[in-house]
Chain A
Amino acid sequence: MMRVARSVLALLFAVAVLYGMQHTRPLYSDITSPIVASGGMNRRVEASAFALSLDRVRVARVLNVETFGKSKTYTSSGVWLVVEGEAEAKFETLGLTSGEWLSGSGVRYVLTDRVPATIEMMPGDVYQPGLPRHVLLMFEVPEDAVAGGTVVVARTKLLPLDDEIRIATNVSGRDIEPELTIRRNHKGPSWTVLPQR
């Protein structure tokens, strides 16, 4: 009798321990999460493989894209975020293919895939060590996701435990321009954001 009771107790104990372990252990996404380097606007933030600085975030209701004489207008149910900055590889040639806008409430927005590849956005570019280059990131987000947003950049989304840079932006979400034009240039800087200011 005693022995049966002891077995039942041991079984219950094992169940309790397993249940506790299942619910206290960190999530898979936390175990494999990237190694984050954070910073603010207008300064160079260093990760182990690359560095990034962001100079400017502009918000607009409509986005025009001019590539070699052709112009296309992109409307949105939210707003467009146009982010400019500079990125540099530190030790080896690499690509930065993952860019995200993390809203203040933790919702993720990825780089827009509506704008054609002729505009040199960050993911298509190659970064050479020692040669910093300008980056352009464009996001489409609802208006309430603008204020308190963070830009998150990584080499790829698929590599666990890789570097990731997070830059907290300083946009209030109140200064929304009616429209912005991204013009692809033949010479000089690859693009211009109009109207200039």
Chain B
Amino acid sequence: MIAGLGGLAASAISFSMTLYEAAHPPKVPVVQAGQQIDTGRWFVTLRSARVGTVPPTGVPPSQPVQLVMVDMDVVNRSATPNNVLYRVVAISAPAQKLEMPTAYLDRDKYLAGYFNPNMPERLTMAWEWPADVPVPDKVTVTVTGQIYKLRDNLYGASGWYDRDPVARVDLPVEKVP
């Protein structure tokens, strides 16, 4: 009986918290381009954005696409290599879900693999922009925070977990061929 009431109370609290959060979205600080953002797991410094048809490899794809490319510097601050930057850095198109971006390592002008801990790298993330949507003059990049849990609630395993956005950066979109 008491357990049932407790469960009911818990779900009521959780539901009202969700409602409250939806009604009061957290204020995300607006950060200037070139300023380092601490996401917990990464240091991210957004540089510039451009729209083009050729990815950083220099090889145009067989079917022409519109790519929105964002240049940035990153440092992996955790103790293990990682490559899931798309969960940390995101842009959005009006009324459409963008495909997962591709990351290119500037050093190699090639697909980026893992980012090793404490090794700063410059990279370009490229999103395929829908053909029927005009690319705006500026994009808003949302940077999401991650926290480290020594023990998660399910297995007691250690890991990084996504949190709320920590910064929003407006970048003017250069037009390059």
Direct contact of A and B (CB under 8 A): yes
* A175 contacts chain B at the CB level, 8 A cutoff: no
Structural contact, B119 and A77, CB atoms closer than 8 A: yes
* B105 contacts chain A at the CB level, 8 A cutoff: yes
**Could you tell me which residues of chain B, from 70 to 123, have a CB within 8 Å of some CB in chain A?**
79-81, 105, 107-108, 110, 113-114, 116-121
* B136 contacts chain A at the CB level, 8 A cutoff: no
- Tell me what chain B mostly uses at the interface: helix, strand, loop, or mixed: loop
Q: How far is the CA of A72 from the CA of B136 in the complex (A)?
A: 38
Q: Closest CB-CB distance, A114 to chain B, in whole Å?
A: 6
Note all chain B residues with C-beta closer than 8 A to A145. Answer: 118
* B35 contacts chain A at the CB level, 8 A cutoff: no
Contact A107-B117, Cβ < 8 Å, known A27-B151, A74-B108, A75-B107:
yes
Q: Closest CB-CB distance, B45 to chain A, in whole Å?
A: 14
Select from chain A the residue with minimum beta-carbon distance to B80.
A108
* A69 contacts chain B at the CB level, 8 A cutoff: no
* B156 contacts chain A at the CB level, 8 A cutoff: yes
* A34 contacts chain B at the CB level, 8 A cutoff: no
Note all chain B residues with C-beta closer than 8 A to A140. Answer: 116, 119
Note all chain A residues with C-beta closer than 8 A to B110. Answer: 114
Q: For the side of the interface on A, what is the size category?
A: 20 to 34
Contact A142-B119, Cβ < 8 Å, known A27-B156, A28-B155:
yes
Structural contact, B156 and A28, CB atoms closer than 8 A: yes
Note all chain A residues with C-beta closer than 8 A to B157. Answer: 27-29
Q: Closest CB-CB distance, B74 to chain A, in whole Å?
A: 11
Q: Closest CB-CB distance, A76 to chain B, in whole Å?
A: 8
0/1 interface trace, chain A 94-133, chain B, CB 8 Å (1 if under): 0000000000001111101110000000000000000000
Q: Closest CB-CB distance, B78 to chain A, in whole Å?
A: 9
Contact A109-B150, Cβ < 8 Å, known A27-B158, A28-B158, A114-B108:
no
Q: Name the one of B79, B80, B119, B150 contacting A78, with C-beta atoms under 8 angstroms.
A: B119
Structural contact, A114 and B105, CB atoms closer than 8 A: yes
0/1 interface trace, chain A 4-33, chain B, CB 8 Å (1 if under): 000000000000000000100101110000
Q: How far is the CA of A112 from the CA of B107 in the complex (A)?
A: 14
0/1 interface trace, chain A 126-152, chain B, CB 8 Å (1 if under): 000000000000001110010000000
Contact A113-B150, Cβ < 8 Å, known A77-B120, A140-B119, A142-B118:
no
0/1 interface trace, chain A 51-74, chain B, CB 8 Å (1 if under): 000000000000000000000001
0/1 interface trace, chain B 17-52, chain A, CB 8 Å (1 if under): 000000000000000000000000000000000000
Structural contact, A107 and B79, CB atoms closer than 8 A: yes
Select from chain B the residue with minimum beta-carbon distance to A29.
B158
Select from chain B the residue with minimum beta-carbon distance to A105.
B79
Structural contact, A113 and B119, CB atoms closer than 8 A: no
Listed in ascending order, the chain A residues whose CB lies under 8 Å from chain B are 22, 25, 27-29, 74-78, 106-110, 112-114, 140-142, 145
6 contacts between A and B (CB under 8 A): A27-B158, A107-B80, A114-B105, A114-B108, A114-B113, A141-B119
